[in-house]
Amino acid sequence: MNNVGIVILAAGKGKRMQSDLPKVLHELNNKPLIEYVVSLVEKLNIRPVVVVSEDGLVKKYLVDRADYAIQSERLGTGHAVMQAEDLLKNKFGKVVVLYGDMPFLKPESVSNLVDVHEKQNNKITLMTTRVPNFENNYKEFYDFGRIVRNSVGIVNKIVEKKDASAEELEIRELNTGYFCFESDWLWNNLKKLKNNNQAGEYYLTDLVGLAIENGDRVGSIEILSEEAIGINTKEHLEKLEN
């Protein structure tokens, strides 16, 4: 893939893991979670920018396999991507955002995301997934943002769970968090994000609403739900072993 920069968000603390270790350094089948994601990016022949916290542990593990941006305060996904601007701006036509705690994404899904983004001439292309319900194996997906589409099926907005109405919570098409952005558009619009939401954070997902307001093209591809699994707790990690 040419002219594509990839950001991996990896600054999360291991709080819900009840650990001092950064979340992405917890192991799944004897490999740190971040290893799965960086290996995927290496298969695409891209050197990623990894957004990390200031403790230096992720950098110590990956050493020179990536470039690094520091997120000193955790103020949301939009804020995390802002930290990578100096390393990526004016260098790539497109920027893909991935997550260091989501180890099951396939390289071909990333390639497909970028292909669709280019062919449709989108400003934003996102990966969505669908689940049949929120029970048993799908319980974890209840926390995902919901994809709201208009009457002709075009993505209208993404609503985070904590901001969703009872009706919106019933939506089964979910935001995975994976995005491809037109680079110039991304850097120009990130600074317009506001943090007036329940969490007081700058959500990357709010860029979709901004694009719609501007009349900019937003597209999507659908991936299997297992590719969208993120690890949040030790119990979840143990359940996914093997």
State how far the Cα of 185 lies from the Cα of 12, in Å rounded to an integer.
26
Read off the tokens for 4.
């594509």
Lowest mean pLDDT among 2-16, 62-76, 114-128, 220-234: 2-16
List the single range of 109-113, 167-171, 196-200 with lowest mean pLDDT. 196-200
Residue 120, pLDDT score: 98
Under the banding of pLDDT at 50, 70 and 90, the label for residue 233 is confident
Q: What is the dihedral of CA 13, 19, 25, 31, to 10 degrees?
A: -150
Q: 147 in helix, strand or coil? A: strand
CATH number, position 21? 3.90.550.10
Confidence at residue 22, expressed as pLDDT on a 0 to 100 scale: 92
Measured torsion, CA atoms of residues 232, 237, 240, 242, in degrees rounded to the nearest 10:
150
Q: Identify which of 95, 125, 84, 105 has the alpha carbon closest to the alpha carbon of residue 6.
A: 95
The string of pLDDT tens digits covering residues 63-99 is 999 999 999 999 999 999 999 999 999 999 999 999 9
* Amino acid occupying residue 148: V
Stretch 122-149: mean pLDDT, rounded? 95
DSSP 89: T
**209-216, long-range: CB within 8 Å, 24+ apart, which pairs?**
209/157, 209/158, 211/123, 211/124, 211/185, 212/155, 212/156, 212/157, 216/123, 216/124, 216/185
C-alpha neighbours within 13 Å on the C-beta side of residue 73: 5
β-partners of residue 98 are 8
Tell me the helix, strand and coil percentages in the chain, rounded to 5.
Answer: 40, 25, 40
Q: Which domain holds residue 84?
A: 4-240
Query: Which residues contact residue 239 at a Cβ distance below 8 angstroms, ignoring those fewer than 6 apart?
Result: none
**For residue 242, what pLDDT is reported?**
65
Distance separating the N- and C-terminal Cα atoms of the chain: 31
The pLDDT value given to residue 76: 94
Whose CA is closest to 192, among 212, 213, 207, 177?
207
Q: How many domains does the chain contain in total?
A: 1
Residues forming the active site: 16
Give the residues across from 49 on adjacent strands: 7, 67
Smallest CA-to-CA distance from 83 within 72, 92, 91 is with: 72
